[in-house]
Amino acid sequence: MLKIFQRLWQVNWAEQWQYRANLIMYLLYWLVSPIIYLAVWTSIAASKGSVNGLTVNDFTTYYMTLLIVDQITSNIVIHTFAYKVQDGSLSGELVRPIHPMLTNALVNNIAFKVLTIMGFIPIWTVLYFLFKPDFSSVTWTGILFAIPAMILGFLVSFLLSAAITSLAFWTTRVYSVHEFYYALMLLFSGQFVPLTLMPRLIQDIAQFLPFQLLIYYPVQLILGNLSSAQIVQGYVAGLVWLLISIVLFNWIWRNGVKQYSAVGA
């Protein structure tokens, strides 16, 4: 099994490396909105002294950390997989004795991630000197606890996106479904603004959804803003959502493959 993953890694790494210019463009595309939110909220905090107790530095560190966390927990499976169902090229992968989504697509995502992170480090460094965040509240224990949390977050986000992508077995409008999912993510993950500034109702609903595991929870963990009870609560929520997303994905996948008629084959 390890050998298979090693091979898959070589193939997918080579594939992603081929598109490295696209990766830089993708990075740029994806960096812009957090930087804009950063600019907007720091300008408000600067003019008012603080927003709901959050200072300019709180916002700067939040978004600077968010850039890293989002890089690790996000995934691109909808873009690399849904078209294979639609044009029938998935057939070749289905006859192989390995799971197309949980091996090939997963490794492809990780290869993509490693490459973008390589491109991302110098950009982040430049931003660091432009915005000069004060990271003195960050502790090693916080980072240590955040690493498994981010891996958990990535697995949940990957499986949920994989579940949605598998809807492509039924509908060609899977991209629209994903767009809707992405909007929910913007609303409940803390991508736009630290969740504490959201309306009460949204904060309450966010507690019961997986989205804050992807952004808000790891970010606050790194910044050392969580009590030990909140850390435990976050991990429990993460494991529960991991379980839910595994079951959900498996169920949709299994029924989807039965549905699959291999267009073009």
Our finding on whether 176 is near another protein (CB under 8 A) is yes
| Four-residue CA torsion sign, 135, 138, 140, 146 | negative
Q: Which two tokens stand for residue 230?
A: 């909140």
Our finding on whether 49 is near another protein (CB under 8 A) is no
Our finding on whether 232 is near another protein (CB under 8 A) is no
DSSP label at residue 212? G
Our finding on whether 197 is near another protein (CB under 8 A) is yes
Nearer to another protein, 4 or 193 (CB): 193
Binding segment for another protein (CB under 8 A), chosen from 76-84, 104-112, 113-121, 176-184, is 176-184
Our finding on whether 130 is near another protein (CB under 8 A) is yes
How many contiguous H segments (helices) and E segments (strands) does the chain have?
11, 0
Q: Which two tokens stand for residue 197?
A: 């500034």
Q: Residue 255 is which amino acid?
A: N
Our finding on whether 199 is near another protein (CB under 8 A) is yes
Q: Which two tokens stand for residue 118?
A: 């390589």
> At its nearest, how many Å lie between another protein and the CB of residue 193?
6
CA neighbor of 76 nearest in space, from 143, 123, 19, 137: 19
Binder to another protein among 102, 167, 187, 257 (CB under 8 A)? 187
Q: Residue 38 is which amino acid?
A: L
Our finding on whether 170 is near another protein (CB under 8 A) is no
Q: Which two tokens stand for residue 73?
A: 């927990």
What is each CA distance from 241 to 70, 189, 212, 221, in whole angstroms? Answer: 18, 14, 11, 18
Nearer to another protein, 48 or 258 (CB): 48
User: What residues numbered 105-124 form the site for another protein, per CB under 8 A?
Assistant: none
CA neighbor of 27 nearest in space, from 18, 15, 37, 19: 19
Binder to another protein among 85, 198, 206, 222 (CB under 8 A)? 198
CA neighbor of 56 nearest in space, from 132, 125, 149, 168: 132
Binding segment for another protein (CB under 8 A), chosen from 38-46, 73-81, 244-252, 253-261, is 38-46
Give the interface with another protein as residue ranges (CB under 8 A): 21-22, 25, 28-29, 31-33, 35-36, 39-40, 43-44, 47-48, 51-52, 130-131, 173, 176, 179-180, 183, 186-187, 192-193, 197-199
